[in-house]
Amino acid sequence: MISFNFVFLLLVFTAFLFLLISVFLYLIIRKAMNNQFKRKVENYKNDYRIYVFHYLQNEEKEPIAHLTNKEEHIAVIELLSEYANVLDGEVIKKRLRDYVADHFEKYIKKDLKSNSWSVRMNALYQIEDFHLDFMIEPLRNYYNDRRLTEEEESQLLKMFALFQEEDLVHKLLNTKTNLSNFNIRSIFRKMDRETFSKFVERFDELPKQYQLAVIDTVASERMLWYHLFLEHMLQSDDSEIQIRTLKAYAETSLPLKEEELEPFILMRRWQVKMMLAKIIGAQRIEQYKKLLKEFLCDKEYIVRSEAAKAIMEFSDGIDILTEVVQVSKDRFAKDMANEWLEKERSGDSY
């Protein structure tokens, strides 16, 4: 009985060991094959780089008329993607688009139907990189026929914005997934002026998440023609919208009248104080230097830091912070003033 159990255990152990060795050998072989594949792709990229560059710059003959294998295909499309991100100009963009249309359209369409999520996403990025607006119908089919992840839907909506899809507003307000704030802002940044204006006009109807993204996009894209819209948002009853609007003023340096700032001066929220400090410093509003000195005593580090930074924007900023170090009895204020004076002495950028 003991002998039988021993033999059985030995067989189990041997089978398990054989399985482990097989998996290990498979992984080694797979890695070696992947490395070999990547080396071939890199070799092709090195061979074709100069030809692709000259074609895009000077419209010389096509760098390669017939793609004979997968490695060559990947090498050329990667080269084109690299150049799409660094070369500018309508002529170059058209050459990129035309070359991809001639040689890669069927591959990209095939990749859009792949069972691999990463392959599909890569195809979507390529359509965006090369501005392949003729692929709009496959994109519509992709959007309508698949169960989408947030990343897929976000990328599709960005391209619908880029290609000025007619029902973009409806799609964006009725998404299939819960888009992040970052993704919503990314979609807004791809819109043309006319499409984006529809969201500004319907601002009061939008969900809160979209409202904040609209304000953020006005700021990040420096859409200064919406200054009246921002003035109106300052009057909002929603404190979060007010804070985000103050942030937009700080980022765009749009001028604010004293009567527009006044209602926020006595607000105690640290986010409001931080934005006020940014605005006062960016616009160098002399009458509020005393307020900045008060903010140096705030319990929130970020408020104190922004106040000191704003003070340094004034011509007498060093003198003001030096006086704070010498006279102030508030430890927070003295420490922050010292910190920014040291930055000035050491030449640290701020």
* pLDDT tens track for 211-255: 999 999 999 999 999 999 999 999 898 989 999 999 999 888 888
Q: What is the pTM of this model?
A: 0.78
Distance CA 316, CA 344 (A): 13
For residue 312, the enclosing domain spans 268-350
pLDDT band at 48 (very low <50, low <70, confident <90, very high): confident
Highest mean pLDDT: which range of 63-77, 81-95, 138-152: 138-152
C-alpha 128 chain-centroid distance: 15
The pLDDT of residue 289 is above 60: yes
The continuous run of DSSP H or E covering 310 comes out as helix 301-311
Q: Are 100 and 130 in contact (CB under 8 A)?
A: yes
pLDDT (average), residues 311-317: 91
In a domain, 303, yes or no: yes
pLDDT (average), residues 84-105: 84
The pLDDT of residue 350 is above 60: no
At residue 67, the pLDDT reads 67
- Average pLDDT of the residues of the chain: 88
The pLDDT of residue 61 is above 70: no
Pairwise pLDDT comparison (55 vs 222), residue with the higher score: 222
Count the Cβ atoms, other than its own, within 10 Å of residue 60. 11
The pLDDT of residue 33 is above 90: no
C-alpha 93 chain-centroid distance: 22
The pLDDT of residue 24 is above 60: yes
Pairwise pLDDT comparison (81 vs 335), residue with the higher score: 335
DSSP of 14-36, one letter per residue? HHHHHHHHHHHHHHHHHHHHHHH
At residue 191, the pLDDT reads 94
In a domain, 312, yes or no: yes
In a domain, 344, yes or no: yes
pLDDT band at 259 (very low <50, low <70, confident <90, very high): confident
In a domain, 57, yes or no: no
In a domain, 280, yes or no: yes
At residue 148, the pLDDT reads 92
In a domain, 213, yes or no: no
Domain count, the chain: 1
pLDDT band at 2 (very low <50, low <70, confident <90, very high): low
In a domain, 26, yes or no: no
Distance CA 204, CA 299 (A): 35
In a domain, 331, yes or no: yes
